Amino acid sequence: MKVENLTIFLLSNVFSYLLYQRNLLVLHASAISFNSNSFFFCGRSGVGKSTLLNKILSYGDFISEDVTCFDRKKESILNSIPFIKLHSKHKIKNSINSFKTATDSRQRIIHILEHHKISKKNKIKCGFFLKIGEKDSIAKISSISLLKNILANAFVSYPLNIEDQKFLMDAASILFKDKEFYEVIRRKEADFDIQKIMHLIGIMS
């Protein structure tokens, strides 16, 4: 395995579980900052988190890719390694270096991003849970649905015990109080409604 691939694997997947063991909430998500507010896009592998992040990255600052760690005290998202994984058909403007993935089944390209595009501070504003379904839709979700999505996308130990569930519920109740969350569904061959998402974020009026 190339050094670059090994480094990203260790500092994302492996460190995710280490951060969880230190009582930090870690989700399978990507995040961006806009006007010092942070927005995250959460979902299973292949749902389109990286593609969506790349499409709106020019409007804000990069925070994290693939793995997103939350700071409960500051109600913010911690910065991660400045990289994004994309299929070769996608273009990215602020990449300073790129290389092929060694173990990725979709053979995506890893792009290292410019440092001046990295967010310096942020406050969690809104989250989007991405899914693939039979029809396109964007709908605000309830607190119960929020917890279900967190349980489905959090980096935790398995099997999930009572202590883990309590930790996730406590972390979510503190971090996500008085914030808005949406479930975003797209058809398999369709794109997400970028215009609607940008409107909800506040990039477009």
Q: Please state, in angstroms and rounded to a whole number, the distance separating the CA atoms of residues 47 and 50.
A: 9
Taking residues 114-143, report their average pLDDT: 91
Q: Please state, in angstroms and rounded to a whole number, the distance separating the CA atoms of residues 78 and 116.
A: 16
Between 112 and 36, name the one with better pLDDT: 36
**Residue 166, pLDDT above cutoff 60:** yes
Q: Where are the domains of the chain?
A: 3-201
Backbone angles phi, psi at 181, to 5 degrees: -140, 145
Q: Which residues pair with 32 in a beta bridge?
A: 39, 62
Q: Please compute Rg for the chain using Cα positions.
A: 16
- pLDDT at position 62 is 93
Q: Please state, in angstroms and rounded to a whole number, the distance separating the CA atoms of residues 69 and 90.
A: 26
**Residue 22, pLDDT above cutoff 70:** yes
Taking residues 166-174, report their average pLDDT: 86
User: pLDDT-based confidence at 193, cuts 50/70/90?
Assistant: very high
Side-chain half-sphere CA neighbours of 22 within 13 A: 9
**Residue 9, pLDDT above cutoff 80:** no
Cis before residue 159, ω within 30 degrees of 0?
Answer: yes
Q: Please state, in angstroms and rounded to a whole number, the distance separating the CA atoms of residues 19 and 142.
A: 27
Angle at Cα 82 formed by Cα 77 and Cα 83, nearest 5°?
115
* 3 state SS of 204: coil
Tell me yes or no: is domain 3-201 CATH 3.90.1690.
no
**Residue 27, pLDDT above cutoff 60:** yes
